[in-house]
Structure 1
Amino acid sequence: MNKVTVVGSINVDSILHIKQLPQPGETIGMQSFSKAAGGKGANQAVSAARSDAETYFIGCVGDDSNGEFMLKQLNDNRINTDNIRTVTGSNTGQAYILLQESGQNSIIVQAGANFELNQTDIQNAMETIQTSDFVISEFETPMDTGIIAFQFAHQAGKKTILNPAPANDEIPADLLSLTDLIVPNETESELITGIKITDEQSMEDSARYYERFGIKNVIITIGEHGSYVSLNGTGKIVPAFKVDAVDTTAAGDTFIGALASVLETDFSNLFDAVTYASRASSLTVQKLGAFPSIPARQAVIDAQK
């Protein structure tokens, strides 16, 4: 299995279960409330680890009970936490998730200690980065830390995966040029490229845009329709698995972590890896919560039979 390092966020998810989103000026009741471990980076790491990748994490937590809780959760999932720094006087990141009966969600994030991650933290983790097969980064931590991590990875000939989320239209060209595989959803891709995803041609045009920065491997996730996958200029849609979703919170993160765990470093099995990752994601959305919903490798394999 691969060695995967995630540079990313660590959050405690506060989940508000509601029938549907309120209209402006409307007050609604909450059906129930729950808390769970989460954060884009942490979810991706747990997904990779549960698909049997040797997984390392670079990030920050606050010096609070939530930080202690999250470190235990990550350690319990066999994730190396040596490069997670506890920030004195800061709160651990939190996400407030409005979860509708349909399974769709809206998320409000309080960055907290996640935005304390700095270049020194990345420098201290250089050996870990440069001995990894894949290094993953996203945008719930400062963008410059992802750039430095990717620079270290490329210096050692290692591969990088960028999940440009939350959506951002001001991504430095330096970061894109250091990216080997980019995995945006439709909204994120449109913000980056200016191309609205409406059909397969627009997906192909988007892939050509990324190629201008040297990104030869592109996955644009398109929700229940699956993913558009482009490998060295050849693209096709890989369909999603049809399931009844109850919570889509960790679907994208599960996809990325599972993908990184089985992907060959030359990307030669990209289409098969996407099928595996899609199956993992389809299992995730059938359960509530982020960490609790992420499947183990054997569960994904069994579901593919």
Structure 2
Amino acid sequence: MDLVARAPRLPRPGETLAGHAFAQVAGGKGGNQAVAAARLGAQVAMLGCVGADANGAQLRAGLEAEGIDCTALDTSPGAPTGVALIVVDDGSQNAIVIVAGSNGEVTPASIVRHEAVLAAAAVVICQLETPNPTVEAALATARRLGKTTILNPAPATGPLPAAWFPLIDYLIPNELEVATLSGVPVASAADAALAAAALRDAGARNVIVTLGAQGVYVALEHGEATHYPAPRVDAIDTTGAGDTFIGGFAAQLAGGAPLDDAIRFAQRAAAISVTRAGAQPSIPTRAELDN
């Protein structure tokens, strides 16, 4: 659950700021990406865990209202539903602190128990808001089952385990995450190219770096590298833009779209999302992109 405060700017360490708005909205990277994929044309199942609390009930109901299969969304009897504390400034930038809660109870055993959900999928998306052993188990199971795999390495705290790279078809970090993973500071598309090259050298197959207003940098396994400029929009809130991109990209891949079309479609969806407030409330529908 996202607890979102808007303030003139992001606070400095030790500083208290007066905010001017607050909202509580459904969030979580996995939840956001699931909603994005569903709204943008895919059939979606969510594998995860919520708490036996009001937040958990609200999140489950919200996913089901989007037509998402929640049979693999477990309920923890003891841990609270995960929350994200988000501050958004008047320049539309954000700072986020995540408290995992019940997300920490998604285990490798959960992957075994719900393997049928993965077996029915065309594309499997993972993030790092569940424990690393669980992410590895999900990626390994998806690879064994012959599925296309996407990893959004967020939140990124350091390099990925080397054993993960052969399990990932598309590694999709943002500029901060790719810098953490590669050790290469990123302030431009040229920097993103260096960081993506470092990840390719580490074993990544395909790297897609989302750069916000600077677009997307794509480094593919056969050596092709392309910078896709971002559509020009007046941004209000960037929260959830990366999740919208990933959900839209995955939906297009699952539907058999060419890679170039999938990237451009996902960019258009993300561009619409930043013109609206909130994470899941900002995600557009397929009909909006088709018009």
TM-score using structure 1 length: 0.90
- 1:185 corresponds, among 174, 196, 213, to 174
- Secondary structure of the residue aligned to 1:33 is strand
Work out the CA distance in 1 between the residues paired with 2:15 and 2:199: 42
Residue number in structure 1 paired with 2:235: 245
- The answer as to whether partners of 2:123 and 2:253 remain within 8 angstroms in 1 is no
Q: Which runs of 5+ in 1 are unaligned?
A: 1-11
Paired residue for 1:260, among 224, 237, 250?
A: 250
In proportion to residue count, which structure has more strand?
A: 1
Structure of greater relative contact order (alpha carbons < 8 Å, 6+ residues apart): 1
Matches within 5 A, 1:156-171: 156-171=145-160
Separation in structure 2 between the aligned mates of residue 260 and residue 132 of structure 1, nearest angstrom: 11
- Please say if 1:141 is aligned against 2:130: yes
In the TM superposition, what is the alpha-carbon distance from 1:170 to its structure 2 partner?
A: 3.8
Per-residue deviation at 1:292?
A: 0.9
Residue in structure 2 matching 1:67, options 51, 56, 63: 56
Percent identity of paired positions between Structure 1 and Structure 2: 39
Aligned position for 1:44: 33
Q: Distance in 1 between matches of 2:191 and 2:279?
A: 31
Tell me, which stretches of 5 or more residues in structure 2 are unaligned?
none
Which letter does structure 1 place at the counterpart of 2:59? M
Q: Please state if 1:83 is matched with 2:72.
A: yes
Deviates more, 1:64-73 or 1:150-159: 150-159
TM-aligned CA distance change 1:152 to 1:245, over 3 Å:
same
Structure 1 moving runs of 4+ over 6 Å: none
CA offsets per residue over residues 50-106 of structure 1, 9 Å max, x none? 011010111000010111110000000111100011000110011111111221111
Query: 1:196–1:122: structure 2 CA closer, same or farther, 3 Å change rule?
Result: same
- Could you tell me how far 1:125 is from its partner in structure 2? 1.4
SS in 1 for 2:45: strand
Contact 1:264 1:270 in 2 (8 A): no
Amino acid paired to 1:17 = R
Q: Which moved more, 1:80-89 or 1:195-204?
A: 195-204
Query: For the residues of structure 1 that align with 2:96 and 2:185, how far apart are their CA atoms?
Result: 23
Cα separation, partners in 2 of 1:158 and 1:22, compared to 1, 3 Å: closer
* 1:162 CA drift (Å): 0.6
| Farther-moved stretch of structure 1 (197-206 vs 31-40) | 197-206
- List per-residue Cα deviations over 1:145-168 (Å, max 9, x = no partner): 111111111112111101111122
| CA distance, structure 2, for counterparts of residue 201 and residue 249 of structure 1 | 24
- Cα distance between partner residues in 2 of 1:160 and 1:106: 28
Q: Is the 8 A contact 2:162 2:203 kept in 1?
A: no
Amino acid at match of 2:16: T
Q: CA deviation at 1:16?
A: 0.9
Alpha-carbon RMSD? 1.7
Matched, 1:121 2:100: no
Following superposition, the deviation at residue 214 of structure 1 comes to: 4.4
Give 1:202 deviation, angstroms: 4.1
Partners of 2:12 and 2:160 lie apart in 1 by: 33
What TM-score comes out, normalization by structure 2 length? 0.94
- Closer, same or farther: CA 180–224 of 1 in aligned 2, 3 Å: same
